[in-house]
Amino acid sequence: MKGVCVPLLCVCVSLILHCTTSQGPQESDTYMECTDGYQWDLQTEHCKDINECETIPEACKGEMKCFNHYGGYLCLPRSASVIPAPDPPGQPDDVPEPYNSCPLGYESQGDRCVDVDECELDQHNCQPSQQCFNSQGGFTCQCPEGYRKIGPECIDIDECRYRYCQHRCVNVPGSFSCQCEPGFQLAGNNRSCIDVNECEMGAPCQQKCTNTYGTFLCRCEQGYELGADGFTCRDIDECGFSSFLCQFQCVNKPGKFSCVCPEGYQLQRSRLCQDVNECETGAHKCTEGQTCVNTNGGHRCVDNNRCQAPYTQVSNNRCVCPVTKPACRDLPLSIVHRYMSMTSNRTALSDIFQIQTTSVYPGAHNAFRIRSGDDNNQFYIRQINNISAMLVLAQPVTGPKEYVLDLEMVSINPILKFQSSSVLRLSIYVGQYTF
């Protein structure tokens, strides 16, 4: 064994001579093949070291000096010197070392050299953190997957520093794992995250579910609103929002509302109330001697003959008091019965009924007035011309209520020196509602 020492730094290099041999040639014309760095010596019939420092031109260049050793050579600084290692104890200098026919990392088995598994025989110098891998004639020390070598030790690689994961990365010794944010699941590559369709996986939405990227939204049917928990739906009381949804009354129902009308009315366009004309539909109980008069929300049955003495009926709704009767002297010549219906709280100063004479006498002057029935001055007459006038509502009236007004026309003829009057008896039925 030889050693090499460099000033200020001592490096011991073990140089062991290895060559390959067999049990000896059987015939004189055969020889053994030596490994690299050796050549066959015919005299000694052994492998002999080759001095590369002599055989290789300029083996070491620059300021380096060539030092031969068994099976190879070294290039060292010129200031280095080689100190031969002492021979093994108990063995004289002139006795050669035992001959090993196999190279380093092999052992002889019969006539062949077999690789030594240093890893299995624990003949390696790998660190506890390293893994030993056997190779032909030697071994290598490698770090396990997920580790890297720093100095003599294997240190865990923090893969999370390299953004291998799309969302969250969890580093573990020798490896890592990827995790996804809520609403996502790990893809087949174990790194990417794909959206989860919660609506198809039983999202807790009471009515409608809409999938979005990374989450979902619960929605409600028309007429419902989402509760504070974001999942349940509660009915919207549309009737409580506005008093103008329905003309009469709003009825809330689950998810919707409906409008209803009072008796005597029917729903029109889902929100309005329209009077039912019982006189036209036949939904009345008037007798043959009566006439059906439709009112807002109902009807009245009035007698066909409403004439009272001393008046006599001359036609439908017309009563006459002849001047030949003494009792008729101070009474209107005729009374005509008319009927009308109006809504409650109608706007004041509205024209509600027009009066017009049917008989016009040359030179006659006509005047119109309310003869009776307007005790509270709720109506007045506005004369239009000599033959017509308009009944005007002076103030709003509230129903249900009935007014009977005698609207009189006084006719004065100065030429004939004649004065007469006639009455239109108007029955006004004010409905309960404003429609």
pLDDT digits (tens, 9 = 90+) for 37-70: 778 777 766 777 888 888 888 888 877 888 887 7
> In whole angstroms, what is the distance from residue 192 CA to residue 170 CA?
14
Cα separation of 266 and 327, whole Å? 49
Residue 82: the pLDDT is 66
pLDDT, greater one: 82 or 236: 236
Element (H, E) at 83: strand 81-84
Can you give the pLDDT at residue 4?
36
The band of 31, judged by pLDDT with boundaries at 50, 70 and 90, is: very low
| Res 350 pLDDT > 80 | yes
Residue closest to 98 by CA, chosen among 21, 209, 192, 167: 21
Rounded to the nearest integer, the mean pLDDT of the chain is 85
Q: pLDDT band for 9, please (50, 70, 90 cuts).
A: very low
pLDDT at 71 over 80: no
Q: Rg for the chain (alpha carbons), in Å?
A: 64
Cα distances (Å, whole numbers) of residue 173 to 16, 32, 155, 159, 370: 41, 52, 9, 10, 110
- Distance in angstroms (rounded) separating the CA atoms of residues 247 and 400: 18
Q: Which residue has the higher pLDDT, 89 or 395?
A: 395
Using 50, 70 and 90 to split pLDDT, how confident is the model at 10?
Answer: very low
Q: How far apart are CA 235 and CA 244, in angstroms?
A: 19
Classify 155 in phi/psi space as left (phi over 0), alpha (psi -120 to 50) or beta.
beta
Q: What percent of the chain has pLDDT over 70?
A: 86
Instruction: Check residue 72 and give its pLDDT.
Output: 84
The β-bridge relationship of strands 215-219 and 208-212 is antiparallel
Q: Does the pLDDT of residue 311 top 60, yes or no?
A: yes
Position 105 scores a pLDDT of 87
pLDDT beyond 60 at 89: no
**How many whole angstroms separate alpha carbon 125 and alpha carbon 268?**
100
Q: For 297-318, b where at least 16 C-beta lie within 10 A, e where not — what string?
A: bbbbebeeeebeeebeeeeebe
Structure token pair of residue 51 = 């001095």
pLDDT for 360 equals: 79
The pLDDT, as a whole number, for residue 211 is: 96
Which pLDDT score, from 0 to 100, does residue 152 have? 83
Q: Do the beta carbons of residue 49 and residue 40 sit within 8 Å?
A: no
Amino acid at 165: C
Q: Between these two residues, 289 and 101, which has the higher pLDDT value?
A: 289
pLDDT in tens, 246-298: 999 999 999 999 999 999 999 999 999 999 999 999 999 999 999 999 999 99
Evaluate whether 409 touches 333 at the Cβ level (below 8 Å).
Answer: no
